[in-house]
Amino acid sequence: MVPPRYFTLAQQAAKIWSQNVTLSAPLERWAHLQDLKDRNETLFYRLVHEHIEELAPIIYTPTVGDACLHYSKLLRRARGMYFSSADRGDFNSMMFNWKRDVTVIVVTDGSRILGLGDLGMNGMGISQGKLDLYVAGGGFDPQHVLPVVLDVGTNNPDLLNDPYYLGSQHARLEGQEYDDFIDEFIRGVRNRWPNALIQFEDFQTKHANTILERYRRDALCFNDDIQGTAAVVLAGVYGAMKCLGGHRKDITKQRFVVAGAGSAGCGIATFLHQAMVAQGLSPDEAYARFFIVDKDGLITNERALDGPGSEPLHGFVRNRTDLPDGSSLVDVIRAAKPTTLLGVSTVKGLFTEEVLREMGTINERPIIMPLSNPTSRAECTAEEAARATGGRAIFSAGSPFEDVEIDGRAMKANQGNNFYVFPGLGLGAVLSKSRVISDGMLQAAALAIPNMLTSAQYESGTIFPSIDRIRDISAYVAVKVIEAAAREGRVPDEIRRLVATGEDAISEYVYSTMYLPTYRPTVFSCSSRK
């Protein structure tokens, strides 16, 4: 029997929220929310929908990093699909055992989880967290999303010796074995769910670029670390340029130092390069405006770049007599005089006070973006950037920081979260019925985001809209992605006709597809209510 009184969904959400905010540790709040999702999925998504700005850092970065570190030790309801080397030859059958239709898949091999490294099967927390944001921010139906881990083993000695680890305790597959594993998975998805979007997440550099280039031309897929991060950085750069005004509003006038030469760094540089070429620079002129630095210093053509995943770097290497291979970050900044410093190194504190002061000496308002996640791996904090530049920096990090006031001057601590991009990009790609996600569709997604800001916000140093508007942001991004796909001739006739009717009609179509967490009404017969 049940009590005579019941609570509405809104009242239940308020009750759960009052409980969650009393928990002091972020990981406790994450676990509390996961328990809720296991008991009442609708209520979970209603809560996230109502408190997205506060809960996004809990259900995803930075808290999800801690969750992944402890994932095997946390007793949780099993969600998603796990494919291991023991399942080879059966991937297709396994997918047909999944009875629901699937619209979007987030898949990881656990090899490079955030900035934490090889976490193997424990990377499932990433796939689940990303899909929670797809639902909350992009309006995807939770019944039609699928988190996946490709358990190809692990090289993490702690996991190999952990009696509670739930994944395969053998060395990671490499070479042809690894390639065949990935290929069997992709073929299975295309056979079972031919229209599903595949998002690759947290693959190490030597595989990430290769996988993306192998499948992106004939499958609806993208890599969020490479392309999603690049898109949100471009959005942030355009937002920063609107703050600056004058000649700095022209992307062809920017000079970039990128600290980190992994998949994210290469993706960012490539994407920014494409934007500069689109605005009139020759490819070589655009390449000359980039300086890529890794753990060994500036990368030039003096260095052998023939390892897996190194191909995107080739256009960016430098050959300067005054700036040799291996030059330190601060020496590169002094010589190159960049307008923008980007960090995707996962090295905490890489942007030292000397580095930040040099950026402030070169530029009246330097653009500083320490983008590494989680917070513990950020290249600098907002306070460090503010103190070194007298609060003059236009700052954006990958993880959340508080705004900073220095000598009466406020510096906005923007967060360049991929959350601004991937739900809307995914929604637009799926609704456009395109067979691929093109560079043009990605560029359209990036350029849409700054348009959501007002002049007053730019004047205050704000370069991203408030995350509590993520539904509207995602819908607008989706509209622009659909329009871009149509311009490129990637859509069927019914979508082409829709686009021809104008932006308002596309927007209405997008909103009409978005899931809202509500209870289905219960209907009682007269005989049952005597």
Q: Work out whether strand 197-200 and strand 104-108 pair parallel, antiparallel, or are unpaired.
A: parallel
Reduced 3-state DSSP string for 84-125: EHHHCCCHHHHHHCCCCCCCEEEEECCCCCCCCCCCHHHHHH
Residues 242 and 266 in one domain: yes
Residues 393 and 445 in one domain: no
Q: What is the DSSP letter of 224?
A: I
* Catalytic residue flag (residue 130): yes
Residues 171 and 72 in one domain: yes
Residue 522 lies in a domain: no
- CB contact burial 188-198 (16+ within 10 A = b; e otherwise): bbbebbeebbb
Residues 318 and 366 in one domain: yes
Residues 424 and 392 in one domain: no
Q: Are 271 and 442 in contact (CB under 8 A)?
A: yes
Residues 307 and 391 in one domain: yes
Q: Where are the beta strands (DSSP E) in 210-338?
A: 221-223, 256-259, 290-294, 297-298
Task: Report d(CA 346, CA 260) in Å as an integer.
Answer: 8
Residue 530, pLDDT score: 45
Residues 51 and 122 in one domain: yes
Q: What is the pTM of this model?
A: 0.91
For residue 151, list its beta bridge partners: 84
- E strand or H helix that includes residue 37: helix 26-39
Residue 526, pLDDT score: 58
Phi/psi at 525 (nearest 5 deg)? -75, 155
Residues 300 and 240 in one domain: yes
Could you give the 3-state DSSP secondary structure of residue 300? strand
Phi/psi at 368 (nearest 5 deg)? -125, 120
Residue 160: burial class (beta carbons within 10 Å; 0-12, 13-18, 19+): middle
Residue 309, pLDDT score: 61
pLDDT per residue rounded down to tens, the chain (530 residues) = 668 888 899 999 999 999 999 998 999 999 999 999 999 999 999 999 999 999 999 999 889 989 999 888 876 777 899 999 999 999 999 999 999 999 999 999 999 998 789 999 999 999 999 999 999 999 999 999 999 999 999 999 999 999 999 999 999 999 999 999 999 999 999 999 999 999 999 999 889 999 999 999 999 999 999 999 999 999 999 999 989 875 567 899 999 999 999 888 988 999 999 999 999 999 999 999 999 999 999 998 888 676 666 777 888 887 666 688 899 999 999 999 999 999 999 999 999 999 999 999 999 999 999 999 878 889 999 999 999 999 999 999 988 899 999 888 899 999 999 999 999 999 999 999 999 999 999 999 999 999 999 888 888 899 999 999 999 999 999 999 999 999 999 999 999 999 999 999 999 999 999 999 999 876 655 555 44
Residue 319, pLDDT score: 66
Asked if omega into 374 is within 30° of 0 (cis), the reply is yes
Catalytic residue among 37, 45, 60, 238: 60
Domain end marker among 384, 416, 448:
416
Q: Count the neighbouring beta carbons within 10 Å of the beta carbon of residue 111.
A: 24
Could you give the 3-state DSSP secondary structure of residue 61? coil
Q: What is the DSSP letter of 379?
A: S
* Catalytic residue flag (residue 60): yes
- Hunting for tokens 């890794």 — which residue is that? 294
Residues 278 and 304 in one domain: yes
Task: Report d(CA 224, CA 291) in Å as an integer.
Answer: 23
- Hunting for tokens 């140093």 — which residue is that? 461
Residue 283 lies in a domain: yes
Residues of the domain holding 435: 420-513
Residue 408 lies in a domain: yes
Residues 31 and 123 in one domain: yes
Domain end marker among 416, 431, 460:
416
Task: Report d(CA 430, CA 427) in Å as an integer.
Answer: 5
* CATH number of the domain where residue 267 is located: 3.40.50.720
* CATH number of the domain where residue 114 is located: 3.40.50.10380
Residues 6+ apart with CB under 8 A from 161: none
Residue 249, pLDDT score: 75
Residue 214 lies in a domain: no
Residue 519 lies in a domain: no
Could you give the 3-state DSSP secondary structure of residue 155? coil
Residue 443: burial class (beta carbons within 10 Å; 0-12, 13-18, 19+): buried
Residue 212 lies in a domain: no
Rounded to 5°, angle at Cα 105 from 100 and 108? 135
Of 475, 445, 462, the C-alpha closest to 235 is 445
Q: Where are the beta strands (DSSP E) in 356-428?
A: 367-370, 394-397, 404-406, 409-411, 413-415
Rg value, the chain, Cα: 23
Q: What is the DSSP letter of 520?
A: P
Domain end marker among 388, 416, 444:
416
Residue 213 lies in a domain: no
Tell me the per-residue pLDDT of 172-228, one tens digit each, with 9 for 90 and over: 999 999 999 999 999 999 999 999 999 999 999 889 999 999 999 999 999 999 999
Residues 30 and 150 in one domain: yes
The total of structural domains in the chain comes to 3
Residue 179 lies in a domain: yes
Q: Are 259 and 346 in contact (CB under 8 A)?
A: no
Tell me the per-residue pLDDT of 398-425, one tens digit each, with 9 for 90 and over: 888 999 998 888 999 999 999 999 999 9
Catalytic residue among 37, 130, 242, 480: 130
Residue 426, pLDDT score: 98
Residues 188 and 102 in one domain: yes
